[in-house]
Chains A and B, each alone.
Chain A
Amino acid sequence: KQWYQRRVRGKRVIDYAVKIRVRPDQLGVVTDGVKHSMNPFDENAVEEAVRMKQKKIVKEIIVASCGPSQAQETIRTALAMGADRGIHVELAKGEEALQPLAIAKIFAALVEKEKPDLVILGKQAIDDDSNQTTQLLAGLLNWPQGTMASVVEHSEGKLTITREIDGGLEDISVKLPAVISADLRLNEPRYATLPNIMKAKKKKIEKIAASSMGIDIAPRLRVIKTVDPPVRAGGDKVPDVAVLLEKLREKGHIK
């Protein structure tokens, strides 16, 4: 059986190479005027979808992103990589960024609407590192999940997934429809070249206002404080063993 549709999620985050700075109010990091791009793990997700389509396992790839108007750039990148159409769940200016539970609920609603056979997300976003959306979505849909996937194979309505877990690899088999989260080693994402970006402009992006979906997307978690990690103190060099022992005793490491 040929799978009909697959939905991929791409989150717009601060570019991985940018040096982030904590905001003066300590409630987060500076995002204004900072370069943003698609979350690297989401790139793995999109790439996997495109490869499945090339292998004719998947017929259509829909990419979805929740965020301000600039999230469209992320969707365009995914379309340039090979997705067919996009859905932009738009947050109005000033609306707070959505947390994993809200995203999962929105995605569950989109799944009801589009009825894909497979949803694939990046395992975590490099800005909040939650690693929750996939699991929450699978729970809301009551679908099986394969998280931290580094190998995905398809046969007869089932997926065999190799997961990267602490201490090694785990193989599981899930029946479709299912939710997967992509890990770094799943594949090497292709670069979205300029000609592909140009072609992607012809592909459709559907816009939905987040507030119009009738879903409770209020945040459940509040950031109290964000601080830089402590500055690393310099080490001491000692001339000989006697001094070393003395210093260790001073600091209370030995008696």
Chain B
Amino acid sequence: MTLRRSVIQLYKELQYMGREYPGGAAKFNTKCKQAFLNNSQEVDPVKIEMLIERGRFVQKEIEALYGLRKYRAMKHRYYDTEEMDLQTKGLKSSLKIYSGYFRNNEILCNSNDLKFE
């Protein structure tokens, strides 16, 4: 696959994943688009490969986020919640780390207002 097609494929996949983003698909998709646009002038193939890799990494992170979020929601609803309330603090702080990563990363631009529920 050519680099160009890889980038387009990555973009499509991220857009598809954005549907379930907490806080709304629209927000995620516009930021995603912006991030791709910011790097659209890049011509160095090595740099492009690196950016694609980072995009794939973000994909994995989002998959993990969705899985974790669903797991915790189910666990909270169907199982003993005492343990859960102690863990919620941990979840919020780890999500803060993620939003910090996104903020510093070039793939997604400034997302100071990225709010996690």
Contact = CB atoms under 8 A, between A and B. Distances in A.
A194 B67 contact: no
Interface in A38-84: 40-41
Interface stretch (A96-104, A106-114, A184-192): A184-192
Interface in B17-31: 17, 20, 22
Interface string A1-41: 00000000000000011000000000000000000000011
A34 to B, nearest CB: 14
A191 B67 contact: yes
Given A17-B20, A40-B74, A184-B75, A195 B67 contact: no
- The residue in A126, A189, A191 that gathers the most chain B C-beta atoms within 10 A of its C-beta is A191
B49 interface: no
A194 B13 contact: yes
Contacts of B13: 193-195
B97 to A, nearest CB: 20
Given A184-B75, A191-B63, A16 B12 contact: no
A194 B71 contact: no
Given A17-B20, A194-B13, A194-B16, A189 B75 contact: no
Contact of B12 (A17, A41, A191, A194): A194
B67 A188 contact: yes
Contacts of B16: 193-194, 197
Contacts of B77: 126
A16 B67 contact: no
B48 to A, nearest CB: 20
B82 to A, nearest CB: 16
Nearest to B117: A17
A16 B73 CA distance: 8
Nearest to B67: A188
B80 to A, nearest CB: 10
Nearest to B22: A17
B20 to A, nearest CB: 7
B66 interface: yes
B78 interface: yes
Contacts of B71: 184, 188
A17 B73 contact: yes
Contacts of A195: 9, 13
A132 to B, nearest CB: 16
Nearest to B78: A184
29 contacts: A16-B70, A16-B73, A16-B74, A17-B20, A17-B22, A17-B69, A17-B70, A40-B74, A41-B74, A126-B74, A126-B77, A184-B71, A184-B74, A184-B78, A184-B79, A188-B71, A191-B17, A191-B63, A191-B66, A191-B67, A193-B13, A193-B16, A193-B17, A193-B59, A193-B63, A194-B12, A194-B13, A195-B9, A197-B16
- 4 smallest CB-CB distances across A and B, nearest first, come from A194-B16, A191-B63, A194-B13, A184-B74
